[in-house]
Amino acid sequence: MSLTSAYEHKLAEKLTILNDRGQGVLIRMYNIKKTCSDPKSKPPFLLEKSMESSLKYINKKFPNIDIRNSTQHLGPVHREKSEIIRFLTNYYQSFVDVMEFRDHVYELLNTIDVCQCHFDINLNFDFTRSYLDLIVTYTSVVLLLSRIEDRRVLIGMYNCAHEMLHGHSDPSFARLGQMVLEYDHPLKKLTEEFCPHTKAVSGALLSLYFLFVRRNQGAEQWRSAQLLSVISTPSAMINPAGSDTMACEYLSMDVMERWIIIGFLLCHACLNSNTQCQKLWKLCLQGSLYITLIREDVLQVHKVTEDLFSGLKGYGKRVADIKESKEYVIANSGQLHCQRRQFLRMAVKELGSVLTDEPGLLGPKALLAFMALSFIRDEVTWLVRHAENVTKTKTPEDYADSSIAELLFLLEEIRALVRRHIKVIQQYHLQYLARFDALVLSDIIQNLSVCPEEESIIMSSFVSTLSSLNLKQVDNGEKFEFSGLRLDWFRLQAYTSVAKAPLHLHENPDLAKVMNLIVFHSQMLDSVEKMLVETSDLSIFCFHLRIFEKMFAMTLEEPTMLRYAIAFPLICAHFVHCTHEMCPEEYPHLKNHGLHHCNSFLEELAKQTSNCVLDICAEQRNLSEQLLPKHCATTISKAKNKKTMKQRQIPRKGEPERDKPGAESHRKNRSVVTTMDKLHLVLTELSLTMNHVRSFSVFEHTVFPSEYLSSHLEARLNRAIVWLAGYNATTQEIVRPSELLAGVKAYIGFVQSLAQFLGADASRVIRSALLQQTQPLDSSGEQTITTLYTNWYLESLLRQASNGAIILAPAMQAFISLPREGEQNFSAEEFSDISEMQALAELLGPYGMKFLSENLMWHVTSQIVELKKLVVENMDILVQIRSNFSKPDLMASLLPQLMGAENVLKRMTIIGVILSFRAMAQEGLREVFSSHCPFLMGPIEGLKEFVTPDTDIKVTLSVFELASAAGVSCEIDPALVAAVANLKADTLSPEEEYKVACLLLIFTAVSLPLLATDPASFYNIEKGGYNNNIHCLTKAIIQVSAALFTVYNKNIETHLKEFLVVVEESSFLTLDMLESCFPYVLLRNAYREVSRTFHLNRVPASTH
């Protein structure tokens, strides 16, 4: 064939296009196979019972289906022909694509044979690689086609529907049907078809021999050769790493194995005639049990080869070779790859450390980085492929690696290093191209003995393109584009590899060497990302998700591997590389896989980290708890009661010696590992993995690992705070607020100390968690400490206070418990004194305290509702009493007619208890607010002072609401006013409501004398109150009347003149008003008598 014909055939262009097209067709076949093997995604026609007979008939008669005489069998197809056409068109066209692809492949292979092309991976790398890739891709397409069980049905049904609809068969059906029949036994047919191509295929494969032998060495040979080491020869550290064929150094072993296995499978005749071919084939058989066709679809090497060769004459020795190789693989391959992975862990870690420390070395040593990536990728894919398919083995450890995470992490580290220092790589290789490669290439061109015009033009353009490069292009961020140069070199390889070419590449190896070098250097300028994908893409995990998840689980179980666990979510970003434009319907599915697994891995890592943090927090809280005041009682007691040295030295039997706080820090032997040591070690590892990257992209989504950790920490911290409260709904037990506050501070203190290590925004996490605890429910809908403490104080403390089991002791500023059998199981003063109220306010904050107030007011208003009912029942009598207050005789007859007077006093007392508790809680809030925000408290108190009785009531309530939120006490309680305002009944007019409020005060006033008959109405000087809490009546009457008359917009002072009350408790009455109603001398004498009686009762007790 003439040179002109070689130009016209455009071998390079066709190989490029067909390889890309072949990948698309292969993925479509894979997609059809996957779809039809899953009942959920299978075409609905293949599952319908009404179609069963039609499907069997089509499958049996394929491809000769007589539609006109088969109406009985094809009736269901006829009914749904339009739907079948619509649904199966993509399937059918995909099979047509396979047929057209086959036609183009055979045409090109025949042309290459006619041209008598010479293939040598070391010289015309691109030409040879594309040729072998095309053969493997085509074979994979045919094998996958034969694995689609429903291929006949899909094609036949579509054609039947097409003929029913259009009156004739589809034009492609006859040839397509014949092709499907031919490939029922694909390998047998393929070997027949490739027999004419044996010379070209075997020649291309033989060029791999020395490369494959060199690359297929064990870890010991790698170690002795100092593979991937930059520092093994210090004097050569800055020398450029290179070889005669740069691309061969990072060429995938998986790819070479596929070429060799499939190549010799198709062209097996050379195995008996060529010793070198036989050696290469046997060596390759000893590497793997399975090779990849596409994604998770594999070829079982030894079984398939043995099955084929067993049916051929003269292949007995080859079958024996296969069996021997299989035994060798089973016995040795697992350990060989395990040792390689161990070597790569050490070598790549060293390489990464050196390049991180001296990124300038990435210029001359860029090749080592890509070799390291390729080697890791090969070992990982081998492990994944065999772990998935080798199910029965005596040595399962050969196909599992608990340290695989480190290898994946190192791969990601090198990738990140290359991306980070891409400018260094570009600057170095730009100068290399312009100042060295261009000059060497120019010299070689000038020394060529023969150089045709076409080749001369191409090579001259190479020199001029390279010579024009300068460093400013890198500094200016200019985008380089050398794909045209590389395609021209591909063309030149094709032109110079045909038999009758004037310029033969194999006769000018120097040209090939320098051009292969130039190709690599040009890729370092414009295709670094593509190179990273080519050498380190692990999108195979997208199709081996079970193994992927298993490896991740193994990593979490290995403490030393935790720091590398971030590699798993990072690898999910690789999944985008397995998409193809010929199969766009796959994209959403692959995207979901990538995002789902990235999300689940990060969720699990965040969960593990937050669990570890909270476990350490719990330990810290235990240490903090030892410092609580309640634990020092024993120590104080011992110190107070010690008498002699002897007594101190002999402890009582059964009394364990309690360690003092800090004893855990005394360690005699550092090798003794405590729980805290283990937790800190695990946390260190997890922190390293969560902090490794700030963000990364998976498909078009940007992922932030720290956000996962923040979310989990926040949720766990919320649950931990609630757990610390120790609330038991059955026994109504709960931790004292002060103890809970100490525990929370211990938790928060530790989380804050980890801020710089965790990567999460610790301050935001703490703020969010604590803020959620001030609400009734947290973000996950769970109860918070605000709800727990509100319920407990209402249901336990205040309920028992209403029953008389707990009383308010103003002198002690706390509620105290009265000793009664079968009542409360807690000491009320431990939950209600000043320090506890302040701790409660600190925990719940203004929002939580407002929620507490609202619940308290709900109970108050429920009592007011009942009081109003009593007033309405006694309305007539109360009106008369109000009118005849100064007529003793009439009053004496009216008072006995009142019903429920004791009930009025009891309910008013309950209101007083609740309002007294609220006042104590508000005082605690005021103290906390003053300490946290003194600069705000001053203006709030100042604003409150400006409020006078003449101020508009709306303004007054707004100011009081602000003041109340800060804990400042107000003459009118805005919360109570709001609660009472919501009680306005629709059945009563405002005037009637106001009348009821006035009569309520009268009812309360005339009921007070009944208190004298209650034996519990005895004033206790020590407690500053009564055992039946009637001293709380004062607050109830003042606060309720103030709220009622504020709601009805009436003067509070005027109405309180009708009522007698202690002046200190009311801001509305003056001494003059009180003196006119009840002379102070009576009060003074009463206090003196009570005091005298109390002291007289104590004297005998003291004497005794």
Q: Which pLDDT tens digit goes with each residue over 363-399?
A: 999 999 999 999 999 999 999 999 999 878 888 888 9
| Tokens, residue 15 | 């190989």
pLDDT greater than 50 at residue 646: no
Query: Would you say residue 645 has pLDDT above 80?
Result: no
Q: Which residues of 220-240 are buried (b: 16+ CB within 10 A; e: fewer)?
A: eebbeeebbebeeeeeeeeeb
CB 971 within 8 A of CB 1042: yes
Q: Tell me what the mean pLDDT of segment 1092-1096 comes to.
A: 67
Most confident of 853-862, 881-890, 941-950: 853-862
Coil vs helix vs strand at 294: strand
Decide which of 425 and 6 is more confident.
425
In our burial notation (b when 16+ CB lie closer than 10 A, e otherwise), range 42-61 reads ebebeeeeebeebbebbbee
Residues pairing with 299 in the sheet? 291
Supply the pLDDT for residue 2. 47
**Residue 390, pLDDT score:** 87
The mean per-residue pLDDT over the stretch 119-131 comes to 95
198 or 946: which carries more pLDDT confidence? 198
Structure-model confidence comparison of residues 878 and 284, the more confident one: 284
- Give the whole-angstrom CA distance, residue 1101 versus residue 694: 75
What is the pLDDT at residue 1104? 41
54-83 pLDDT, tens digit per residue, is: 888 888 888 888 887 777 778 888 888 888
Return the top range by mean pLDDT from 3-7, 164-168, 411-415, 844-848.
Answer: 411-415
Q: What is the pLDDT of residue 1061?
A: 38
Model confidence at 1099: pLDDT above 60: no
pLDDT at 568: 97
Q: What are the structure tokens assigned to 562, written together?
A: 């935790």
Nearest to 135 by CA among 212, 201, 79: 201
pLDDT above 70 (res 48): yes
Percent of the chain with pLDDT over 70: 92
Query: What is the per-residue pLDDT across 253-295, written as a single tens digit (0 to 9) for each?
Result: 999 999 999 999 999 999 988 999 999 999 999 999 999 999 9
Token pair for residue 211?
């490369």
Which of 579, 581, 551, 578 lies closest to 567, judged by CA? 551
**pLDDT in the model for residue 118:** 93
Confidence grade of residue 147 (pLDDT, cut at 50, 70, 90): very high
d(CA 694, CA 641): 61
**Residue of 98, 91, 65, 93 whose CA lies nearest to 154:** 91
Burial 327-362 (b: 16+ CB within 10 A, else e): eebbeebbebbbebbebbbebbeebbebbbeebebb
The pLDDT confidence band at residue 572, using thresholds 50, 70 and 90, is: very high
Mean pLDDT for the chain overall? 88
| Three-state DSSP state, 982 | coil
Among 537, 697, 676, smallest CA distance to 617 is for 676
For residues 365 and 522, give the distance between their C-alpha atoms in angstroms, rounded to a whole number. 15
Which bin fits 690, alpha (ψ -120 to 50), beta or left (φ > 0)? alpha
To 5 degrees, how large is the angle CA 488–CA 494–CA 497? 135
pLDDT in tens, 150-195: 999 999 999 998 888 888 888 999 999 999 999 999 999 999 999 9
In this model, does residue 1068 exceed pLDDT 60? no
On the question of a cis peptide bond just before residue 63, with omega within 30 degrees of 0, the verdict is yes
Q: How far apart are CA 228 and CA 251, in angstroms?
A: 15
Nearest to 255 by CA among 368, 133, 372, 143: 133
pLDDT higher than threshold 50 for residue 1:
no
Highest mean pLDDT among 140-149, 238-247, 311-320: 140-149
Residue with tokens 């965790």, as numbered in its chain = 758
Where is pLDDT greater, at 901 or 1102? 901
pLDDT band per the 50, 70, 90 thresholds, residue 489? very high
Question: Of the ranges 730-744, 749-763, 878-892, which is most confident?
Answer: 730-744
Residue 814 host element (H or E): strand 814-817
Average pLDDT over residues 678-704: 93
The number of CA neighbours under 13 Å toward the Cβ of 210 is 5
